[in-house]
Amino acid sequence: MKIILRLFYIILIILLAVFLTNCTSSTDSKSKKQVVSFQDVWFSDAVDNDGDGYNSYARLNFDLDVSRGSLEVFVKIGVRFTDPLDTAGYYLYLESGSLVIDGTTTEDAVYIAVGYPNDELPEGGFDFLIQVCAQSDPEKVLVELSPANDDNLSNVLTDIPLEESFTDAGLAIYDAYWTGWTDNDGDSYASEATLVVDVDVNVGNTSDVFLVIYQKNYTSGSYSVLAVSEVFTVSGSSSEDAMGFVLTNFPHNLYDFKIEAYYDGGYYIEDTDDPVSNADLNDVALEPATEDVQTLNTWLWWDDGSYEEAYTWPSGGYFAVQFQKPVEAINCTITSIAINVTLRDLAYCYARFRVWDSFSNYPNNYIYAPAGDTYVGYDNWNYISPTIDVSSYSTFYVGFQQIYAYGFYLRADLTYPSQVRSYESSSGTSWSLLSDRDYAIQVYVEYTLSGKQKNSVETRGEWISSDNLYSDDRQTSPMSSVSLNK
Cβ 460 vs Cβ 481: under 8 Å: yes
Per-residue pLDDT band for 57 (boundaries 50, 70, 90) equals: confident
Going along the chain from its start, the domains and CATH numbers come out as 36-167 (2.60.40), 172-292+456-468 (2.60.40), 295-450 (2.60.120)
The pLDDT value recorded for residue 461 is: 36
pLDDT tens, residue by residue, 269-316: 888 999 999 999 999 999 998 888 878 899 999 999 999 999 999 988
Give the span between the Cα atoms of 466 and 227, in whole angstroms.
6
pLDDT tens, residue by residue, 431-467: 999 999 999 999 999 998 764 443 334 433 333 323 3
Per-residue pLDDT band for 22 (boundaries 50, 70, 90) equals: low
Cβ 477 vs Cβ 463: under 8 Å: yes
Question: Is 80 exceeded by the pLDDT of residue 128?
Answer: yes
Calculate mean pLDDT across residues 213-219: 94
Across all residues in the chain, what is the average pLDDT?
A: 83
The pLDDT value recorded for residue 16 is: 52
The pLDDT value recorded for residue 151 is: 65
The pLDDT value recorded for residue 34 is: 86
Calculate mean pLDDT across residues 401-410: 96
Bigger pLDDT: 449 or 24? 449
% of the chain with per-residue pLDDT over 70: 83
pLDDT tens, residue by residue, 140-149: 899 999 888 7
Bigger pLDDT: 231 or 328? 231
Give the span between the Cα atoms of 437 and 445, in whole angstroms.
23
The pLDDT value recorded for residue 468 is: 29
Q: How far is CA 338 from CA 295, 376, 442, in A?
A: 21, 10, 5
